[in-house]
């Protein structure tokens, strides 16, 4: 059941499945923002967000800055993978 999956996922990774999914998508977006010249809209689509607005809103909520500012900032950046559960999840999904 959904609640059982949520409990198992939370016990294993310390986050909900929804937070894990969004964290993985934001982690992918981080990489694309920093290592490609793709537009923010193209990155949003590539990472499975419904549209640019939704991506920008969720990204800014997680990182405190919009994707374009994150890309251009010269200051050290936080990562979706800073959370130990996200790091384990990413390793389980991507190897």
Write the DSSP symbol of residue 22.
H
d(CA 23, CA 16): 10
- Under 8 Å between Cβ of 70 and 77: yes
- Averages of pLDDT over each 10 residues, the chain, 95 residues: 93 93 93 93 96 95 91 73 84 83
Q: Would the pTM count as exceeding 0.95? A: no
**What Rg, from alpha-carbon coordinates, does the chain have?**
14
Dump pLDDT digits (tens) for 15-30: 999 999 999 999 999 9
- As given in the structure block, the two tokens for residue 27 are 């982690």
d(CA 16, CA 76): 27
Torsional sign, CA 10, 25, 53, 69: positive
């Amino acid at each position: 059941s959904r609640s059982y999956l949520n409990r198992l996922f939370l016990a294993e990774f310390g986050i909900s499945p929804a937070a894990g999914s969004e964290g993985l998508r934001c982690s992918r977006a981080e990489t694309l923002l920093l290592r490609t010249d793709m537009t923010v809209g193209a990155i949003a689509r590539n990472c499975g967000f419904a549209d640019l607005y939704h991506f920008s809103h969720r990204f800014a909520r997680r990182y405190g800055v919009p994707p374009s500012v994150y890309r251009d900032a010269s200051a050290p950046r936080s990562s979706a993978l800073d959370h130990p559960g996200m790091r384990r999840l990413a390793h389980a999904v991507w190897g």
